[in-house]
Amino acid sequence: MFMYAKDKYGPEYVIEVYDPKTGMQGVTVIDNTARGLGKGGIRFVPDITTQEVMGLARAMTWKNALADIPFGGAKSGIRGDPKKVDKEAYMRAFARAIKQYVPDKYIAGPDMNTTEKEMAIFADEIGRMDASTGKPASMGGLPHELGSTGFGVAKSARTAMEFAKVSVSGATIAIEGFGNVGTFAMKFLTEWGAKVVAVSDSKGTIYNPKGLDYAKLMEAKSSKGTVTSYKEGKVLPPEALFGLEVDVLIPGARPNVITAANATDVKAKMIVEAANIPIMPQVEKFLTERGVLIVPDFIANAGGVISSYAELKGYNEKEMFALVEGKIVKNTKLALERMKNKDVRAAGEAIAKERVEDAMEKRGKIAK
């Protein structure tokens, strides 16, 4: 008996694995492969659940379809604290456990707490370079450390601001998370004239209504390990970032950070979702009905998976960034133009579902 929620789209496979030697527990969910092989990153966190990975895999189905790249949706998770366990041993054990599905049904990529190093280890253990994307350049990869996801988020935010007639120059922005995505989103948005006034990490939020200096913030994070060591600003609790009065709020770390408990605190005119599923559906609906324009995760943060496709096609860095820009801008505009009552998610999902259902019908997976 199938014990997990399912619908006509999937999931096709839910693979839960355990390695008694290392203690590694992991899961891969291949949601839908009608448009191509299941593609999605490996998340390495202590509290990952199968249900969370299923939700992330479904988001990848829509993300890849909306990006109009020939991938299906999938995702993986490894349960463990990457600072406490033998990360390489866990990654190799996980690769061995799911090897029969790679790369014929699933291609891995980096996600939370996995980088080009882990993608190199994964491909090495599988024994095939096409087992993963986001690998080091020395292995023919386009590592996500180049900033493809953050660049895409920034482009999506800029496109949405222009659509909503909010001037990019001087627009106030708050960014949750200052890892690979948040740093590059800030870099590009500040280069275009926006004013990032708040950034948070696990230690707290640094806030300065006059704006934060990107280079100084990077130095503070690098030298002290937290944005709160930045000198020119007020330190607030991490969660305080969501209630700041800004033009654009960018949640860019963990899922479900804007909840029923803090949604009423949100004062931003626009939310651009850099993280995967940072807002529960019912909360997103509440904010949309309040007039907040929300660009959902599967539109805004597709830069990483577009980069993955570019890597498999053998593109160089310049060609990859051009592909990311073209697809992110086009698809953000398309969803915004088709939305009704400010519901961008519904418009984007409708476009993605049309594409997935068309592929499923052509492959005889559903009747039209």
Residue 138 pLDDT > 80, yes or no? Answer: yes
Question: Do 13-60+73-140 and 148-302+334-350 share a fold?
Answer: yes
Domain boundaries, the chain: 13-60+73-140, 148-302+334-350
pLDDT digits (tens, 9 = 90+) for 296-305: 999 999 999 9
Give 365's pLDDT tier (boundaries 50, 70, 90). confident
pLDDT of residue 1: 43
Average pLDDT (217-243) is 96
Average pLDDT (211-236) is 96
0.85 exceeded by pTM: yes
Give 145's pLDDT tier (boundaries 50, 70, 90). confident
**4 vs 51, higher pLDDT:** 51
Q: Is 231 known to be catalytic?
A: no
Average pLDDT (261-282) is 94
pLDDT of residue 19: 98
Please tell me which residue in 6, 21, 39, 75 is annotated as part of the active site: 75
Superfamily of domain 148-302+334-350: NAD(P)-binding Rossmann-like Domain (3.40.50.720)
> 169 and 151 in contact (C-beta within 8 Å)?
no
Burial 53-65 (b: 16+ CB within 10 A, else e): bbbbbbbbbbbbb
Give 276's pLDDT tier (boundaries 50, 70, 90). confident
**To the nearest whole number, what is the mean pLDDT of the chain?**
95
For residue 176, list its beta bridge partners: 200, 251
Q: Is 8 exposed, middle or buried (0-12, 13-18, 19+ CB in 10 A)?
A: exposed
pLDDT digits (tens, 9 = 90+) for 313-357: 999 999 999 999 999 999 999 999 999 988 999 999 999 999 999
CATH number of 13-60+73-140, picked from 2.102.10.10, 3.10.450.750, 3.40.50.280, 3.40.50.10860: 3.40.50.10860
